[in-house]
Chains A and B, each alone.
Chain A
Amino acid sequence: MYQALLEPEVGDRNKTTRGGVWGFSETVVKATVPALVLHSQISSIEKQATTATGCPLLIRCKNFQIIQLVIPQERDCHDVYISLIRLARPVKYEELYCFSFNPKLDKEEREQGWKLVNLHEEYNRMGIPNNYWQISDVNRDYGVCDSYPTEVYVPKSATAHIIVGSSKFRSRRRFPALSYYCKDNNLFGANKFNDDVTPYSASYRMCVNMASICRSSQPLSGFSARCLEDEQMLQAIRKANPGSDFIYVVDTRPKLNAMANRAAGKGYENEDNYSNIKFQFIGIENIHVMRNSLQKMLEVCELKSPSMSDFLWGLENSGWLKHIKAIMDAGIFIAKVLIEKDWVSFGHKFNHRYGNLDGDPKEISPVIDQFIECVWQLMEQFPCAFEFNERFLIHIQHHIYSCQFGNFLCNSQKERRELKFWSGMYNRFEKGLHPRQSVTDYLMAVKEETQQLEEELEVLGEKLANLQKSQLTDNKVKSKQQDGSKRLGLSTSNNNLANTPQEYSNDLKSFPSRSPSQGDEEDSALILTQDNLKSSDPDLSANSDQESGVEDLSCRSPSGGGCLPSEDSGKDSDEAVFLAV
């Protein structure tokens, strides 16, 4: 967390454009530190008690950043507060940033981006359509289900009559449709039925048989209702997977929730009514539980200097990792499902779940955060299996909430103990917490360099061949120079290694230095004061460049020499200061 003191800016920027706070309709803060926050990133705004320096405003962002603004005038602060509340939740889609974001791409390039993931191609890649599966246009003009795409893939034997009939028996008319088809029948496939739009909201279900994954919403079965077309639909799906005698119907809810839904006329398939299905509950909690869990976990992350126990207890009580584990367990059923196809095209309720537009706060849920975290957990265990890295995931998470752009694999035996806390995500903005050196960056630099060297080597090899024809003596010198440059290159790519100490003496506050009960008055020297120590960090973390540590350290050391003096040099002394006792 850092503080941005904005005294000079507030006055003049207050009066500018549309609800504008600082003259930017989309960017909230532009302080001296390079802090840029999109309105849509804002999760909550809290006015805090006025202090001597001004009126503090605490902004929590959806990407887990926390910003505190101190605004000198109470009145200004209130204006800002009201404006931000309005701007953070536009009422119409058109107000979202992506409609005005223009990254200097021409029309063609823009359209290319949208075509990057083409549903047709995706299904073609899986070998669809084929003898068993076909495209159905039953949902053209979104006539059957408004949250499905216009083209859906269904078993050939499923007629329009069956589909429409089935859709009427499904919550929000989300009839069973193909999500993933596994060409290699030896592999374990899964059949997934997605429901009421988010996997964990009331009723996510999937059907698993040996080759395909379908998804639908929960059936409107209540206590006894049945639907012939729906039963035929499932039968058609089973037939579309020749060689399997049954399909799994996997309900991702806890069984209790599913049963409760029956009272509301919804529920789950009755095994007696459907031939050859096997039913299974996975027990992923609903969005309300998830939202609370994330909230609790973030509270743990915000604790000031927690003890190891505070942290572990907090993390466990939040239940976050438990939910992640449950989702990953479910993921063992589903393999290689791509984000785009699964989350966007099939109508995952992006808007409601991520609160980009003003709406019911109860509809917001961190499902995509959880999906991204699950992928990260897999990456931690299978470092070589992913083409992308952690930064890519964090980037995606950022853009889901920033609305700057208009959009959005695995098979593992998961064990509870291998799940870790992802501080790279949830404490992303606390630079002090992260490993000070990035292996990924280093390896990418090395890789690039090796490639360059190889190219160079090739060129030189050719030259050498040419030279050998004429002269044999010249080439030795050249190859030697090559060697030297390699060493040099590596060491430079690797220079930003340093950091600064954090508040190690934090615990000193628990050291009862002045407590009379201690009796031993000679001990009562509080040496490193809390406040002074604290002051060392804020500016540094705002400095996006960790190299400041390098300079900071070197300016103290005459022997270090050669390094630039730094802006931090003045701060050195307040990092830990003696109290004159």
Chain B
Amino acid sequence: MEFSELIKTATVESVLLSCVGLPAVKGTLCITSHHLLLSSCPGGDAQPGTVELWLLIRNVDAVEKRVQNLGWYQPPWTNGSPQDTRLAGSSGTITLRCKDLKVLQLEIPGMEECLNIASSIEALSSVDSVMMMYPFFYRPQSLKLEEGWHLFPLEQYFQQIASQTNQWRLTDVNKDFTTCPTYPPAVIVPAAVDDDALRKAARFRQGGRFPVLSYYHPKNGTAMLRSSQPLTGPNRKRCREDEKLLGTVLDEGERGFIIDTRSAQAAKQARMTGGGTEPKSSYPQWRRLHRPLERGRPLQESFIKLVEACNDTSINMDRWLSRLESCRWLSHVKAALSTACLAAQCMDREEASVLVHGTEGTDTTLLVTALAQVILDPSCRTLVGFQGLLEREWIEAGHPFHLRCARSAYSHARLKQEAPLFLLFLDCVWQLSRQFPFSLEFSERLLLTLFDNAYASAYGTFLCNNEKERCLCKVKEKTHSLWAWLNQPGEKKKYLNPLYSHNALVIWPSVEPQSIQLWQGLFFRWIRSSQYLDEAWAEIQRLVEGNDAPVKESAGNRLSRSLSDPAAQTEDKR
């Protein structure tokens, strides 16, 4: 496939770009294989050809077009200006709704051009082949390709654990992805269980996701494991190796908790389709807790409804709260946080090990295990530690980013496997940052950047569904890592929380409804100005960091920041 085949019209003059909260700009629109560019007309501006928009086409979630054929009608106001005569003939408006939730409007003179542009954007944005995506073409000079891909090796994480206990071992049973296609080559398992037993246990778990170590709590030596559901089926099958694997985690007389992220009924129903839960008789030391969390389509629909509500300017105060309630999003945030807190409480307070799983073990399971670690482990609350956590518990753990983040809240396409679990995780972390403003080393800006990059990125970090696919596509050889870019000294500074101070303690958040807030920084990012809050933030930075160079953003910076994606900015600087 050639990109050029998809581009019907590459450039159009006199296109008017408008966006909520910013003045409209007129310029030349240009479509490249991965970007939509708009540079303002020379003459009007002192600097000719200023780039006003640099939008990754992958970021486009929905394209809406509206054309008016005004051939027979000459609007009186165009009579005076000859250059607008073409406008009088026909024109069209394209509304681009992006995955990062911003909405852009392009007014394009000429009906045909408008339709061409729209269909080109549609075609380019729905290219589904990973190898054709922008990260495989993006080559910034400031970064090296291999940089950032091996910052957080599991070996290193294992060494930390091994220095405290010898109950765990690192296994390469999955080195060619045969035992479990969605696990990374190396995983941490109980030392007492050999690879053969692991292979057998894998056959008893959906998708081969046998229980592996997710987090070791150094304070009391308890462990958090994750897996997929056991394949007990209607005949209540058992697997001795799986039972042994879980049995060795607990000493005699010790109890552990299985946190099932489905309702008891859903778990029971899963038996009909070959899944199920761990029966007490086969796993006598484990107690099951069911904490149903929303996933899949209902979660995506909740996200869509929330974004719709946030963009609806017609509702007033007396309808807003019930509208917010009907979206259910905040309930999902509350449920996710509560479940993660329960897991953390079991470990820290009950001194009991925990196994977390739902059905596939790639969605709500990871949400709970990753969140529990942010709550429990101070090292996950640093900028680098948080990156390591994402790498270990989301990316390598096989959260299917490619499927889940294929479409965002605006798409008209039929929903396939999209679900904003990663966004829900980021929202929960944001809630933590509200309640513990000193305890996270990174700022809201990092969370926003991660959200943007998970849905459309110049970097390969969030590409594909698992490590096996990344290997096949040679993601780590052919694309740049987001971490390499984030960790550049100049860039890193933007994501730090000036108020951070190391807090070695567990951070127990409040999960009462009064404490759960709507993440305005994300859901209203493009709708209302954050000027006064930005100023307050700059003031805080100034106070904390002394009087050196207050961080001030000029109006111009704001414009470019809001219109172009972060990757383009770095590109622009070259």
Chain A residues proximal to chain B, CB less than 8 Å: 301, 305-313, 315-316, 319, 321-322, 325-326, 381-385, 415-421, 423, 427, 430, 432-437, 439, 442-443, 446-447, 450, 490-491, 494, 497-502, 504-505, 507-508, 511-512, 518-520, 522-523, 525, 527-528, 549-550, 553, 556-557, 559-560, 572, 575-576, 578
CB < 8 Å neighbour of B544 from A308, A430, A443, A560: A443
The residue in B325, B517, B518, B536 that gathers the most chain A C-beta atoms within 10 A of its C-beta is B325
Among candidates A315, A494, A498, residue contacting B321 with C-beta atoms closer than 8 Å:
A315
A510: min CB distance to chain B, Å:
10
Interface residues as binary, B430-446 with A (CB distance below 8 Å gives 1, 0 otherwise): 00001111110000000
Q: Which 10 A-B pairs have the closest CB atoms?
A: A522-B280, A311-B513, A383-B536, A316-B321, A312-B325, A501-B508, A308-B331, A504-B341, A423-B514, A325-B317
Q: Which of B37-45, B195-203, B282-290, B466-474 contacts A (4 or more CB under 8 A)?
A: B282-290
Which B residues are in CB contact (< 8 Å) with A417? Answer: 310, 320, 518, 520, 524
Give 19 pairs: A residue, B residue, CB < 8 Å, sorted on A. A308-B516, A315-B321, A321-B320, A326-B317, A383-B535, A384-B535, A439-B438, A497-B505, A498-B505, A501-B506, A504-B342, A511-B264, A520-B264, A525-B287, A550-B505, A553-B505, A560-B219, A575-B349, A576-B349
Task: Report Cα–Cα, A501/B346, bound state, in Å.
Answer: 11
Tell me whether B170 is interfacial, beta carbon within 8 Å: no
**A381 nearest CB across to chain B (Å):** 6
**Inter-subunit contact A522/B281 (CB<8 Å):** yes
Write out, one digit per residue, whether chain B residues 263-293 have a CB within 8 A of any chain A CB (1) or not (0).
0110010000000000111000001111100
CB <8 Å contact, A499 and B288:
no
A301 in contact with B514 given A437-B436, A522-B279 (CB within 8 Å): yes
CA distance A549 to B508 in the complex (A): 10
The closest CB in chain A to the CB of B332 belongs to A308
Residue B501, interface by CB 8 Å = yes
Contact call B513/A308, Cβ cutoff below 8 A: yes
CB contact list, B295-335 vs A, under 8 A:
310, 315-318, 320-322, 324-325, 328, 330-331, 334
Q: Which residues of A contact B32 (CB under 8 A)?
A: none
B279, B510, B544: which has the most chain A beta carbons within 10 Å? Answer: B510
Q: Which residues on B sit within 8 Å (CB–CB) of A326?
A: 317
Given A437-B439, A504-B338, do A497 and B503 touch, yes or no (CB 8 Å)?
Answer: yes
> Which one of A423, A439, A523, A578 lies within 8 Å of B540 (CB-CB)?
A439
Cβ-closest chain A residue relative to B331: A308
Inter-chain contacts of A527 with B (CB < 8 A): 257, 287, 289
Chain A residues near B341: list those with CB within 8 A: 501, 504
In the bound complex, how far is the Cα of B349 from the Cα of A559, in angstroms?
15
Q: Of all chain B residues, which has the CB nearest A517?
A: B265
In the assembled complex, B255 has its CB within 8 A of some CB on chain A: yes
B543/A384 in contact, CB under 8 A: no
Contact flag A447-B543 (CB < 8 Å), given A432-B510, A437-B436: yes
In the complex, whether B82 has a CB less than 8 A from a CB of chain A is no
| A502/B508 contact (C-beta < 8 A), A316-B325, A519-B268, A559-B219 known | yes
Report A-chain residues with C-beta under 8 Å of the C-beta of B321.
Answer: 312-313, 315-316, 321
Tell me, yes or no, whether B416 is within 8 Å of chain A by CB: no
Most buried by A among B218, B291, B328, B504: B504
CB contact between A578 and one of B255, B280, B325, B543 (< 8 Å): that residue: B255
Minimum C-beta distance from A86 to chain B (A): 34
Partner among A419, A427, A505, A572 whose Cβ is within 8 Å of the Cβ of B514:
A427
20 more A-B contacts (CB under 8 A) besides A417-B320, A430-B512?
A301-B514, A308-B334, A311-B513, A312-B324, A312-B330, A321-B320, A383-B532, A416-B316, A416-B320, A418-B528, A433-B512, A436-B507, A439-B437, A439-B499, A439-B540, A443-B544, A502-B510, A507-B291, A525-B287, A578-B255
State in angstroms the CA–CA spacing of A383 and B538 once bound together. Answer: 11
Picked from B310, B318, B334, B499, the residue with its CB within 8 Å of the CB of A442 is B499
> Which one of A308, A437, A550 lies within 8 Å of B330 (CB-CB)?
A308
- Contact in complex: A500, B317 (CB < 8 Å): no
A105 and B264 CA atoms in complex are apart in Å by: 66
User: A362 to chain B: closest CB distance in Å?
Assistant: 24
Bound together, the chains give a CA A355 to CA B483 distance in angstroms of 61
Q: How far is the CA of A523 from the CA of B539 in the complex (A)?
A: 54
Contacts of A511 in B (CB 8 A): 264, 289-291
B413 at the interface (CB under 8 A from A): no
Cα of A382 to Cα of B342 in the assembled complex, Å: 36
Give CA–CA (A405, B276) in the complex, Å: 66
Contacts of A307 in B (CB 8 A): 331, 334, 513
User: Cβ of B316 and Cβ of A498 under 8 Å apart?
Assistant: no
Verify B539–A384 contact, CB threshold 8 A: yes
Q: A384-B532, A527-B289, A559-B219 known; A494 and B438 CB under 8 Å?
A: yes
**Chain B: minimal CB distance from A550 (Å):** 7
Total interface residues on B, CB under 8 Å, equals 73
Question: A312 to chain B: which residues have CB within 8 Å?
Answer: 321-322, 324-325, 330, 513
B511 at the interface (CB under 8 A from A): yes
- Cross-interface CB contact of A432 among B289, B290, B437, B512, cutoff 8 Å: B512
Q: For the complex, is B345 an interface residue (Cβ under 8 Å from A)?
A: yes
Contact A523 B528 (CB under 8 A): no
Instruction: Name A419's contact: one of B317, B348, B540 (CB within 8 Å).
Output: B317
Given A383-B532, A504-B338: A421 and B520 interface contact (C-beta under 8 Å): no
- Report Cα–Cα, A310/B257, bound state, in Å: 29
Question: Contacts A306-B513, A421-B514, A443-B543 known; A494 to B501 CB distance under 8 Å?
Answer: yes
> What's the Cα separation between A520 and B348 when bound, in Å?
29
Q: Could you say which residues of chain A place their CB within 8 Å of the CB of B513?
A: 306-308, 310-312
Q: How far does the alpha carbon of A419 sit from the alpha carbon of B518 in the complex, in Å?
A: 11
Contact across chains for A560 and B511 when beta carbons are under 8 A apart: no
* B345 engages A501 (CB within 8 Å): yes
Complex: A556 Cα to B341 Cα, angstroms = 18
Q: Is the CB of A504 within 8 A of B345?
A: yes
Given contacts A443-B540, A525-B287, whether A512 and B264 have CB atoms under 8 Å apart is yes
Bound together, the chains give a CA A420 to CA B338 distance in angstroms of: 22
Residue in B350, B437, B505, B514 whose CB lies within 8 Å of A311: B514
B490 beta carbon closer than 8 Å to chain A: no
Residues from chain A with Cβ under 8 Å of B160 in the complex: none
Measured CA separation A419–B524 after assembly (Å) = 13
Q: Is B76 close to A, CB under 8 A?
A: no
Bound Cα distance A502, B337 (Å): 12
CB–CB A313/B322 < 8 A: yes
Is the Cβ of B508 less than 8 Å from the Cβ of A500?
Answer: yes
Closest beta carbon of chain A to B330's beta carbon, Å: 5
A497 touches B438 (CB 8 A): yes
Contact B510 A434 (CB under 8 A): yes
Contact partners of A553 in chain B: CB under 8 A: 505-506
Of A313, A325, A557, most buried by chain B (CB within 10 Å of CB) is A557
Cα(A305)–Cα(B503), bound, Å: 28
Bound Cα distance A505, B345 (Å): 9
Residues of chain B within 8 A (CB-CB) of A576 are 345, 349-350
Q: Whole-angstrom distance between the alpha carbons of A72 and B501 in the complex?
A: 48
Please determine whether B268 and A520 come into contact, CB atoms closer than 8 angstroms: yes
Query: What CA separation (Å) do A418 and B315 show in the bound complex?
Result: 13
Min CB–CB distance A548 → chain B (angstroms):
12
B515 near A: Cβ within 8 Å?
yes
What chain A residues lie within 8 Å of B291 (beta carbons)? 507, 511
CA distance A158 to B85 in the complex (A): 62
* Contact pick for A572, options B220, B317, B349, B511, CB 8 Å: B349
A309-B331, A498-B505 given as contacts; is B437 within 8 A of A384 (CB)?
no
Interface residue? B549 (CB, 8 A): no
Is A501 within 8 A of B264, CB to CB?
Answer: no
**Contacting residues, chain B, for A442 (C-beta < 8 A):** 438, 499
A385 with B532: CB separation less than 8 A: yes
- Bound: A427/B535 CA distance, A: 29
Q: Are A415 and B528 in contact (CB under 8 A)?
A: yes
Which B residues are CB-close (under 8 A) to A572?
A: 349
Per the bound structure, the CA–CA distance linking A321 and B318 in Å amounts to 8
A502 cross-chain contacts in B, Cβ below 8 A: 508, 510-512
